[in-house]
Amino acid sequence: MGMDHNDCANINCVGDKMTNQFRQRLYELHRSVGAFFGVMLFIILWSGIWSLVNHKIDNWWHIFQMTSEQSMIEPLITLHKNLFIGFPGRIFISLFGIALAVISILGLWLHQRRLKDWFKLCLNSPTKIVMADSHRLLGLWALPYLLFFSITGAIAGLGALGTVTLSNITHSESPQMVFMDLMGEPIPKAAGRVWLNSPNVSAITIQDKILFPDFTPQKITIHNEGDQNAFVEISGVTHGVISPNIFEKHVYALDGELYKTYSAENRGFWLQSYIANQPLHYGEYDWLPEWGNFWFSVHLVMATFALWITGSGLYLWINRSQAQWKAWQILCWKKIPIGILSGLIFASNGLLLCGIAIYLIDIFINNSLLFFAIWFITAIATALWMHHISRFFIILLLANGFVLIFTSVVHLSLLMVQGILINISVDIALLLVGSLMLVFGMRRKNA
Amino acid sequence: MFKQFIKASIIVIGTLLSAILFSMLLAKIMPSQDAINRLYASIYLGLIFGIAVMIWSCLPKEFMPRFYRSWGWIIMIAPILIVWGIK
């Protein structure tokens, strides 16, 4: 996407194995596949970043969620998981992982032999050139993570589908056995006799800590409670084993004796890879107690880069192609995509305002309805105002900047009233991004 | 543009079918005693195969070479699957 037709034709390929014609073909492919899947990829990456952050900032949200256990940004999380259409949506989204992998590999192929592309970025250049340079530069440096996001994202949906369908081949005798193979043997059923004494959970927890010092417990469940066949299950994460807590479990009998342990460790390579998929995709680094926060930050930054790469790619494509476009092409390839994307950004920030409204005014707001309403209205407004697109973008930037600053200021005020200052890093991030939007919007307005 | 879209869809469908058949073949014939490990190996390798075939199929400029590259795998894999008796 970051290369013009003329640029491409002018490339000096003397001594290079790749011919101009082939490079041109790679460029066309990268450009058209990116243009076709770009809008959807942007939506997936944008909602993915919110899902990633939501996992870490539960406490930050909590102050706004006095009446509801549900997260305010639940619509964005569901959008990322399954597009609100359940399992088919999950499969559909995972196919975009393949598209992202294809686009990324084509991009690398296009620029692999041009070393200067790996370092070139002139921030003082016109917007179009900055976009092209940053698209290329970030794309090359973030490539391992782009592939990582695409493969783990694809496996998140296709893995589940493959487990169900291929079990007929690998477990032809009884396909249901695949789940027992995956999750381990189930807990024995209740005996039907009342227990004589309840389990000493605190003693079991202490014993577990001694037996498994590299294990961080996260959840304690009592199975068959009240029955003689009751079991205490401690699930959590084992340090150094990339596995979510549903696969890392220690089960104790009623008398405190260790009954069974479940772990992804020492299992087959491919099965371990599948088990590791969820924590890796969702940036859950609890299994790295010392470096977890660092790798989460890298994960978040790379996800933001991926979003920037997609956004800048779309920007380049829309700006470059419109000269030859007919009216319907402008509608389909410019107005609708810009409307959808700006609507999504505006609606996401609208959810922050919605959270404050619930807390301050104590009213019920259906966050999903609000989210889609703002998205739809902004998309329509963008399409109608497309002739004044620069003015529209200034309004959008100023409004988004205002929402982010307002939210963080209200949150900080509430924290100060309560006398606690926790999770202010989120507020600082919101203030920073909001201020940048306001400054950029004001500068564009004055220009 | 509509014709291009139809042609691209034919290539994508061919690639996806090829990847599915490849996964099924691996799930059946991969030499591993651990059935669950074989299952996930076939999913991962099938995905990587799908991505590779997708890129390889898109490279030619003409439609027919693209068609052969994406659908040709089915002609190769399907008979083997039938011989190995996939239900």
Contacts with A378 (C-beta within 8 Å, 6 or more apart), sequence order: A339, A342, A343, A346, A347, A396
Does residue A137 surpass a pLDDT of 60?
yes
Name the more confident of A358 and A201. Answer: A201
Q: What is the pLDDT of residue A17?
A: 57
CB-CB neighbors (< 8 A) of B42 in chain A: 162, 166, 170
Backbone phi, then psi, for A217, in 5-degree steps?
A: -70, 140
**What span, in angstroms and rounded, lies between the C-alpha atoms of A352 and A284?**
24
**What span, in angstroms and rounded, lies between the C-alpha atoms of A34 and A312?**
11
Rounded to the nearest integer, the mean pLDDT of chain B is 90
Q: Find the residue in B nearest to A176 (Cα).
A: B36
Contact A168 B87 (CB under 8 A): yes
A368 class by beta-carbon count within 10 Å (0-12 exposed, 13-18 middle, 19+ buried):
middle
A308-321 confidence digits (pLDDT tens): 999 989 988 887 76
A1 pLDDT band (50/70/90 cuts)? Answer: very low
Q: Given B32, B42, B58, which is nearest A166 (Cβ)?
A: B42
Q: Do the Cβ atoms of A78 and A124 come closer than 8 Å?
A: no
**What span, in angstroms and rounded, lies between the C-alpha atoms of A407 and A341?**
22
**What span, in angstroms and rounded, lies between the C-alpha atoms of A61 and A66?**
10
On whether any CB of chain A is under 8 Å from the CB of B32, the answer is yes
Contact B39 A166 (CB under 8 A): yes
CB-CB neighbors (< 8 A) of A163 in chain B: 39, 43
**What span, in angstroms and rounded, lies between the C-alpha atoms of A193 and A224?**
11
Instruction: Give the predicted TM-score (pTM) of the model.
Output: 0.87
**What span, in angstroms and rounded, lies between the C-alpha atoms of A435 and A433?**
6
On whether any CB of chain A is under 8 Å from the CB of B9, the answer is no
Tokens of A128: 């179009």
On whether any CB of chain B is under 8 Å from the CB of A25, the answer is yes
Q: What is the pLDDT of residue A34?
A: 92
State the number of CA atoms in the 13 A half-sphere of A174 facing the CB.
Answer: 5
| Residue A109 one-letter amino acid | W
Residue A234: which of A166, A187, A164, A269 has the closest Cα? A187
Lowest pLDDT segment from A9-13, A99-103, A233-237: A9-13
Contact A102 B58 (CB under 8 A): yes
Q: What is the pLDDT of residue A66?
A: 47
Mean per-residue pLDDT, B42-60: 95
Residue reference for tokens 């105002």: A385
On whether any CB of chain B is under 8 Å from the CB of A270, the answer is yes
Q: Do the Cβ atoms of A139 and A107 come closer than 8 Å?
A: yes
Q: Which residues of A202-220 are buried (b: 16+ CB within 10 A; e: fewer)?
A: eebeebbeeebeebebeeb
**What span, in angstroms and rounded, lies between the C-alpha atoms of A314 and A242?**
35
Q: Which residues of A409-444 are buried (b: 16+ CB within 10 A; e: fewer)?
A: ebbbeebeeeeeeebeebbeebbebbeebbeebeee
Pick the residue of B3, B9, B40, B80 with the most A CBs within 10 A to test the interface with A by mutation.
Answer: B40
Ordered DSSP codes for B6-51: HHHHHHHHHHHHHHHHHHHHHHHH---S-HHHHHHHHHHHHHHHHH
On whether any CB of chain A is under 8 Å from the CB of B55, the answer is yes
Q: Given A98, A163, A169, which is nearest B50 (Cβ)?
A: A98
Distance from CA of B35 to the nearest CA of A (A): 6
What 3-state DSSP class applies to A221? strand
Q: What DSSP state is assigned to residue A118? A: G
Q: Given A154, A168, A170, which is nearest B38 (Cβ)?
A: A170
% of chain A beyond a pLDDT of 70: 87
Does residue A218 surpass a pLDDT of 70?
yes
Tokens of A346: 């505006």
Alpha-carbon Rg for chain A, nearest whole angstrom, is: 26
A2 pLDDT band (50/70/90 cuts)? Answer: very low
Q: What is the pLDDT of residue A14?
A: 43
Q: Given A101, A154, A273, which is nearest B40 (Cβ)?
A: A273
Does residue A127 surpass a pLDDT of 60?
yes
CB-CB neighbors (< 8 A) of A269 in chain B: 37, 41
Does residue B74 surpass a pLDDT of 80?
yes
Mean per-residue pLDDT, A167-191: 86
Mean per-residue pLDDT, A81-109: 93
On whether any CB of chain A is under 8 Å from the CB of B3, the answer is no
Residue A354: which of A19, A35, A73 has the closest Cα? A73
CB-CB neighbors (< 8 A) of B46 in chain A: 162
What 3-state DSSP class applies to A143? helix
Q: How long is chain B?
A: 87
Backbone phi, then psi, for A262, in 5-degree steps?
A: -120, 135
Does residue A234 surpass a pLDDT of 90?
yes
Contacts with A289 (C-beta within 8 Å, 6 or more apart), sequence order: A216, A239
A404 pLDDT band (50/70/90 cuts)? Answer: confident
A37-69 confidence digits (pLDDT tens): 999 999 999 999 989 888 666 667 666 554 455
Rounded to the nearest integer, the mean pLDDT of chain A is 84
> What's the distance, CA A70 to chain centroid?
18
Distance from CA of B75 to the nearest CA of A (A): 20
Distance from CA of B64 to the nearest CA of A (A): 16
The four Cα atoms A408, A412, A413, A414 give a dihedral, to 10 degrees, of 100
On whether any CB of chain A is under 8 Å from the CB of B75, the answer is no
Angle between helices B63-84 and B2-29 (to 10 degrees): 30
Q: What is the pLDDT of residue A67?
A: 46
Q: Do the Cβ atoms of A152 and A280 come closer than 8 Å?
A: yes
Query: E strands within A209-345?
Result: 215-223, 231-238, 249-253, 258-262
**What span, in angstroms and rounded, lies between the C-alpha atoms of A378 and A392?**
10
Neighbours of A255 (CB within 10 A): 10
On whether any CB of chain A is under 8 Å from the CB of B51, the answer is yes
Tokens of A75: 């619509």
Sign of CA dihedral A168, A170, A173, A179: negative
Name the more confident of A302 and A421. Answer: A302
- The H or E element containing residue A90 is helix A86-111
Does residue A15 surpass a pLDDT of 50?
no
Pairing of strands A258-262, A231-238: unpaired
CB-CB neighbors (< 8 A) of B54 in chain A: 98, 102
Q: Which residues, numbered 75 to 104 in chain A, qualify as contacts with chain B under a Cβ-Cβ cut-off of 8 Å? A: 98, 101-102
Q: Do the Cβ atoms of A31 and A23 come closer than 8 Å?
A: no
Q: Given A105, A267, A273, which is nearest B55 (Cβ)?
A: A105
CB-CB neighbors (< 8 A) of A274 in chain B: 40, 43-44
Mean per-residue pLDDT, B49-78: 94
Q: What is the pLDDT of residue A63?
A: 63
Name the more confident of A113 and A264. Answer: A264
